[in-house]
A and B are shown apart, each in its own frame.
Chain A
Amino acid sequence: MEVHPVTIKELVKNYADICAVDHLSLDVYEGEIFGLLGPNGAGKTTTIRIMMDIFRADAGVVEIFGKQPGQVRELVGYLPEERGLYPKRKVMDTLVYMAQLKGVDLNTAQASAQDWLERTELREWAAHRVQDLSRGMQQRLQFAVACVHKPRLLVLDEPFQGLDPVNVEAIRVLMRSLRDEGTTIVLSAHEMNRVEELCDRIAIVNHGKLVLYGNLRDIQTRYGSNTVRLRTPVEIVEIPGSALKERRNHDWVFDIGPHNPQEVLHILVEHGIPLELFEVGTAPLEQIFIDVVTKGQAHA
């Protein structure tokens, strides 16, 4: 059986009378950026805390690289929603201590801390106390803390919260570079444009239940109202079974109804229509999220 960075099966967590996580099941694949989405109070942070061995599940299975969460702490980096650092500790000391807590030896921790100070552009602040840093810098330091021990799995709970665009971009670039280096990332965020831009697959949870799960592009296509966008210099009289929805110069949008986009493409090629662009119509993630959460249009 293939071992994934994260495997969750039938996870249940209750707080008194409230069911925070209700039989949740999902997998996170190696090397992907996985979006764990949902409205406030949906059970995302609870799920993440169980993955981090901070909370215990009431029922179900959570495995990190095939093991119980508490057994692989060294492989996981965590940026919690509740931000916090030791305010009076120096920036460099903070990184070294946090790396050591993850089982890294002192020399390696110091070298890695230097590296992450460079990557987060905090090198000049190494000898300053954390409380002297601006909010954005503290957030970048917090990100560095999560990565300083070179985790194979990085869990980021609301990493863009409260950041200005410059710092959002800095975090986004860091995430991409980590993914390119092979790090698997679980991202929980409310900024749908960022999720859309970064994530390979997503899960949307609502009231503790999984309501949407899968490859982001597939989901967007599925929610894309069955349209195709194409660009051609010639006039298209008709595509059988499809209706013209919109035209602007050489750009055409057809509603293909129950047809498969591949079938439509095949018809166009058969008719010798030159294509400069052929695109399956997708729906914005934000719209999908709103639909799923407010209207209960689940397609898990």
Chain B
Amino acid sequence: MRKVWVIAADEYKTNIRRTGFIVMTLIVPLIGLIALLISAFVGGKVGQFFTDQMEGQARPVGVVDEYGAFTPILADYVAEYKAYASEDAARVAILSKEINTAMVIPSDYLERGVIRVLSSDSTLGTLDAVSEERTRGFLTAHLLRGQVDDKLYSRLQNPMKLERVELSQATGASGRAQSVGETVSSVLIPYFLGILLVMSIFTSSGYLMQSVTEEKSNRVIEIVLSSVSAHTLLAGKIMGMGALGLTQILVWLASATALSLGSKQLTGVALPIMNQPMLYVFIVIYFLLGYMIYAVLMGIAGSLGTTQQESQQISSLLSLLAAVPFFFASFVIQNPNAGVVRVLSYIPFTSPTMMLLRIPLGQPPVIDYVVSILVTALCIPLLLKAGAKVFRMGLLVYGKRPSMAVIWKAIKES
């Protein structure tokens, strides 16, 4: 065990100084910090730009009422709509930038329901100015003027306020549903965090593969194997690189906490991930499981390749396994508990990445946590045992890649 620690410490010390690792570890919090600063200090101007785009710089919409029911404009709409006597007058107003958009409501509107829209451009603001929802409110209010009582008029204007209640699958207890904004942010941020975690798994296990390939190409592997068993060597490397990956994740989580506190101070809003402490626990669990699986596979890839390039080719094939859940990402987002999604959560090679995707999207059934963790955890020692055999066999083969028959023989011997 002492030798495992020696190897782990050596791998950690060697790789934590790599420029690529430092850049990748620091760039994530840096991007977060820049985003926070922009939202805090420049956000006002940027927001104004988007508001202008959305609202067409707050100019009213012209109304040419050939039908006769829409003028005079009701007091509630005077700020947003301005009447023009004719289409020509509205055109002049648009060309003189008095308004951006005008609606021409023809005399046969009631029969045909057609409204012609004149505009100077096609900015988002212009499109929003005559959006169906907004225009429907304006038309309904004017058509119903004097026809119904105030209460009915008010309800027709705003027929519903949706109040969703989510039932917890575990307890059946109900709670307030998230707003759309909250949902988007609470899904997107952990979703991208999931992607980062998978990247971290592959960064760490990729370094492991590189380390093995270098030892093989430097021919130092023979001396190392005369000092420690292939099993000890692989275990030491896995531990060292795992600590490296955990360091990266801890830096990210610490910076996320710091950014959230900063965000609360500057904008009054904490990052939604901060409200999900269990997510931290599962991030660490599934990171470790995923890392262990892929570290063994990458170790084997490193030992089997005769050159670094060849090892990378083998490893890219293995990476495809982990990426399978991402091929289904849009499906997973919409159906986080669908059958195929759950099956992929039970397969050790896809389980960690799939669960890292699913957890932020909702509440996977408890059985999915249990099965995915158990199956993957049980698979690791088996994979490690077989992997160490192939690893040992592959390490000393120079010049040509071992055949599948030779690899299979090594696995059977384990």
Contact = CB atoms under 8 A, between A and B. Distances in A.
A84 B214 CA distance: 11
Contact of B228 (A55, A76, A86, A101): A101
Given A54-B396, A97-B6, A101-B6, A84 B220 contact: yes
A82 B222 contact: yes
Contacts of A86: 214-215, 218, 220
A98 interface: yes
Contact of A73 (B10, B215, B227): B227
Contacts of A49: 222, 396
A53 interface: yes
A86 B10 CA distance: 12
B223 A80 contact: yes
A202 interface: no
B2 interface: yes
A98 B227 contact: yes
A83 B219 contact: yes
Given A83-B219, A84-B218, A70 B229 contact: yes
Interface in A35-65: 49, 52-55
Interface in B204-222: 214-215, 218-222
Contacts of A100: 3, 6
Contact of A54 (B2, B10, B222): B222
B7 interface: yes
Nearest to A93: B10
A54 B220 contact: no
Contact of A101 (B221, B224, B396, B398): B224
B172 to A, nearest CB: 57
A160 B345 CA distance: 57
Given A97-B10, A103-B3, A76 B222 contact: no
Nearest to B224: A101
Nearest to B218: A84
Contacts of A54: 222, 225-226, 396
A84 B226 contact: no
Contacts of B219: 80, 82-84
B111 to A, nearest CB: 84
B218 A80 contact: no
Given A54-B396, A85-B218, A86-B220, A80 B226 contact: yes
Interface of A is mostly: loop
A86 B218 CA distance: 7
Interface centre among A53, A101, A145, by most B CB within 10 Å?
A101
| SS class, residues of chain B in contact with chain A | helix
Contacts of B7: 101
Contacts of B396: 49, 54-55
Contacts of A78: 222-223, 226
A152 interface: no
A190 interface: no
Contacts of A83: 219
A62 to B, nearest CB: 14
A140 interface: no
Given A54-B396, A101-B6, A103-B2, A76 B221 contact: no
Nearest to B10: A97
Contact of B226 (A53, A85, A87, A103): A53
Given A97-B6, A97-B10, A101-B3, A84 B222 contact: yes
Nearest to B398: A82
Contacts of A84: 218-223
B228 A73 contact: yes
Contacts of B226: 52-54, 73, 76, 78, 80
A102 interface: yes
Interface in B284-300: none
20 contacts: A54-B225, A54-B226, A70-B229, A73-B226, A73-B227, A78-B222, A80-B222, A82-B222, A83-B219, A85-B220, A86-B214, A86-B220, A87-B218, A97-B6, A98-B223, A98-B227, A100-B3, A101-B3, A101-B7, A102-B227
Interface of A: 49, 52-55, 70, 73, 76, 78, 80, 82-87, 97-98, 100-103, 145-146
**Can you list the 10 inter-chain pairs with the closest CB atoms, starting with the nearest?**
A84-B219, A84-B220, A101-B227, A78-B226, A52-B226, A80-B222, A82-B219, A100-B6, A84-B218, A54-B225
Interface of B: 2-3, 6-7, 10, 214-215, 218-229, 396, 398
Given A70-B229, A73-B227, A100-B3, 13 more contacts: A53-B225, A73-B228, A76-B226, A80-B222, A82-B222, A84-B220, A84-B221, A85-B223, A86-B214, A86-B220, A101-B7, A101-B228, A102-B227
